[in-house]
Chain A
Amino acid sequence: MKRYSQHKTIVSNLSGVAFWKKAGAMNLLYVSYGIAIVSTVIVSYILGAFELLPFDPQEIDLKLMITSPGSSGHILGTDFMGRDILSRLIIGIQAYFLPGLLAIAIAIIFGTWFGVLAGYWGRGFDTSITYINNLLNSFPRLVLILLMVAAFKPDIYYIMVIVGITNIPVVASLIKGKIQFLKGKFFIEAATALGLKNRVIIFKHILWHNCRSVLIIQATLQMAEAILMETSLSYLGFGVQEPTPSWGNMVQAGANYFMQGKFWPSTAPALAILFTIMGFHLLGDGLNNIFERKQKI
């Protein structure tokens, strides 16, 4: 079916122009906010790993319980045990950063593999992979994780393996669709006619040249998902346990004081979650708008 698009000619005229000139201002705003957040997270993670913190995150100071931001050297104030909130927020990144990367790696690698199998080698693989995808989609992720928690008492890395596995279908179906679309193109036909190996066609011509941006976008969106999952689980008490800080258990620990009108100890980590997840979402969606929907500008 032919779809009428008025913008086709405009795009071909613009094909030599750098991408940031033809991306809308809105998308550039999204992406720059996202990059700012991602680099903040990475820098804070490195600072936390080398323990370059303003205060010791575990140091209890009962004279300074629940102080407001900026008092006596604590930039973001202190929590209900007088511990520095900023240091705890920075250390809290460790709760999701490496586990999140693990989840992303699993989802991307296996998702790509399944997607290539289903898209390139067709029917039999396609049916069975669709079945597995539907099967994995049938479980609400948090319910499946609670089942695993009941069965194995896993730590956060194993939980993130499950998050990664449940994300495989998303990546697989994207890659599958992409490959089915590309298979009809002339350059693949030409590559086959030239006698290139399947390996070269798949890895170089399909995955590297055409699926790179999709995979990067998926990786950013899945980091947001991993953060959401980790904070929810820590909030529910199944993830990282006190006194090790995680943004989820910080919100939970501050909640008792929330009802007394002392909002800050639980609002600070909540805002951290808000800005970070939003950063990853906007980065993914902005990149998607710029690189994947070119024809619409």
Chain B
Amino acid sequence: MKLSSIRPITLLISKELMITAFLLLGVSFVIFIILFLSPGDPFSAMVKGQIMSEAATKGASDALVVPDAWYSQYLSWLNNMLHGNFGTSTRSGLPVLREVVLVTINTIYLTIGSMFVTLLLAIPIAVVSARRGMTPFTWPATIFTYVISALPVFWLGYIVIYISMHQFGLFPLAFGSMSKKFSWIYFMLPVFVLGLGNGTISEVVRYLRDEMERVFAEDYIRTARAKGASIWKHSFKEGFLIPITEIIASKVSFILGGAIVVEQVFNWPGMGRMAWQAAQDRDYPLIMGITLMAAIIVRLGSLIQRVVHIIVNPRASQE
């Protein structure tokens, strides 16, 4: 690639980076507002249960709580976070950042794995039905994708656990405490369940099929076919690469939501389970850290999608 063609791409990518940073700022503001408006403050939680007179409470409050306006509270909170200080979990007393990063890795593994499962199922159906229309293979397959994506994922989880228990004698409920021999199966089961049951397959198939049909009808594909060139090669960028990255980027947040339920079913030590626990305990710093981390993952997903789009087609992204 020549230098002259790299420069506009770098400009576009740095613009995307700025947009992402700006959006994450907005995300942090929304989280702050929600927690700011929530009833109950740390101070009253601290003095609760201790015998204090009205005057003593007021005196302690004056001494301890700085009566700041909301914007200076937000700025100091943001400043803390930028320095990596997300506070400590009220339940375990450990720093939030460390806890969240540890579980995020598990969740990312689960999310990426289940996306592969979804795509492995969706792409063949989409390609065949875009190419051949409704055939005796594609219409049952399409109905099947609708059934799969309406299936409640927790129930699918129970079925898979039941089968693995009774057919193979495995107990995936006790995650991590089993022998090493079958441990890969415990990793596979939740990935498989979330990949099938995240409820997006019918939408993914539909979107990919529509995009491929559109690209196959373009003039340049017709020309390619007329001169005997491979239409797969010509339609790869616009018909496959861009739609697939687009649908993945837009479904990241949906699959992260599904991961909460699946992690609950399988006792998977990930972000969703921790979020569930934090919501149960009203552990503000922890749930805040998790929400922020989830938003960062979603933003990274769409950043990658934008970068792929820019590299594949720099001219179209300039508009």
Query: Which residue of B19, B35, B253 contacts A151 across the interface (Cβ within 8 Å)?
Result: B35
Task: Please pick, from B24, B38, B147, the residue contacting A274 in the complex, using a CB distance under 8 A.
Answer: B147
Q: Which of B23, B150, B162, B260 is A258 in contact with, Cβ under 8 Å?
A: B162
Q: Does A137 contact B (CB under 8 A)?
A: yes
What is B's interface to A at a CB cutoff of 8 Å?
A: 19, 22-24, 26-27, 30-31, 34-35, 37-39, 134, 139, 146-147, 149-155, 158, 161-162, 165, 199, 202, 206, 213-214, 217-219, 222, 250, 252-254, 256-258, 260-261, 264, 272, 275-276, 278-280, 282-284, 287-288, 290-291, 294-295, 298-299, 302
Inter-subunit contact A266/B158 (CB<8 Å): yes
Set B39, B276, B291, B299: member contacting A144, Cβ < 8 A: B291
- Which of A147, A228, A274, A277 has its CB near the most chain B CB atoms (within 10 A)? A147
Across-interface contacts of A251 in B (CB, < 8 A) = 152, 154-155
A140-B256, A231-B152 are contacts. A135–B290 as well, Cβ < 8 Å?
no
CB-defined A-B contacts under 8 Å, sample of 27: A4-B217, A5-B217, A131-B23, A138-B24, A138-B295, A140-B295, A140-B298, A142-B258, A146-B279, A147-B34, A147-B291, A150-B284, A152-B38, A232-B257, A232-B260, A235-B152, A236-B260, A248-B152, A255-B154, A259-B165, A270-B151, A274-B147, A274-B151, A277-B150, A278-B146, A281-B149, A285-B202
Residue contact A146 to B199, C-beta cutoff 8 Å: no
Q: How many residue-residue contacts, CB under 8 A, span A and B?
A: 157
Other-chain contact of A147, B31, B202, B302 (Cβ < 8 Å): B31
Q: Report chain B residues within 8 Å CB of A65.
A: none
The reply on A215 being an interface residue by CB < 8 A is no
Among the listed B19, B39, B250, which residue makes an inter-chain contact with A152, where contact means beta carbons less than 8 Å apart? B39
- CB pair B146 A281 closer than 8 Å: yes
Contact A151 B284 (CB under 8 A): yes
| B contact residues around A4 at 8 Å (CB) | 217-219, 222
What's the minimum C-beta distance from B193 to chain A, rounded to whole angstroms? Answer: 14
Tell me whether A236 and B261 are in contact in the complex, defined as CB-CB below 8 angstroms, given that A146-B275, A146-B276 are known contacts.
Answer: yes
In the bound complex, CA of A267 to CA of B253 (Å): 28
Contact check, B298 vs A135: say whether CB atoms are below 8 A apart: no
Cβ-defined contact, B23 with A138, below 8 A: yes
Bound Cα distance A274, B291 (Å) = 29
Interface residues on A, range: 35 or more
Across-interface contacts of A255 in B (CB, < 8 A): 154, 158
CA distance in complex: A281, B143 (Å): 11
- Distance A147 CA – B295 CA, assembled complex (angstroms): 13
Nearest CB in chain A: distance from B160 CB, A: 12
A282 on the B face (CB < 8 A): yes
Smallest distance from the beta carbon of B189 to chain A beta carbons, Å? 15
A144–B279 Cα distance when bound, in Å, is: 11
Q: Closest B-chain residue to A275, C-beta based?
A: B150
- Tell whether A143 pairs with B291 under 8 Å between CB atoms, given A148-B34, A251-B152: yes
How many whole Å from A64's CB to the nearest CB in chain B?
Answer: 23
For the complex, give the distance between the alpha carbons of A273 and B294 in Å. Answer: 27
Give me 8 other A-B pairs in contact (C-beta within 8 A), A135-B27, A146-B279 excluded: A4-B217, A4-B219, A134-B19, A138-B298, A143-B260, A151-B35, A266-B158, A270-B155
Does A252 touch B at the CB level, under 8 Å?
Answer: yes
CA distance A24 to B31 in the complex (A): 47
User: Chain A 21-41, CB within 8 Å of chain B: the 1/0 string?
Assistant: 000101000000000000000
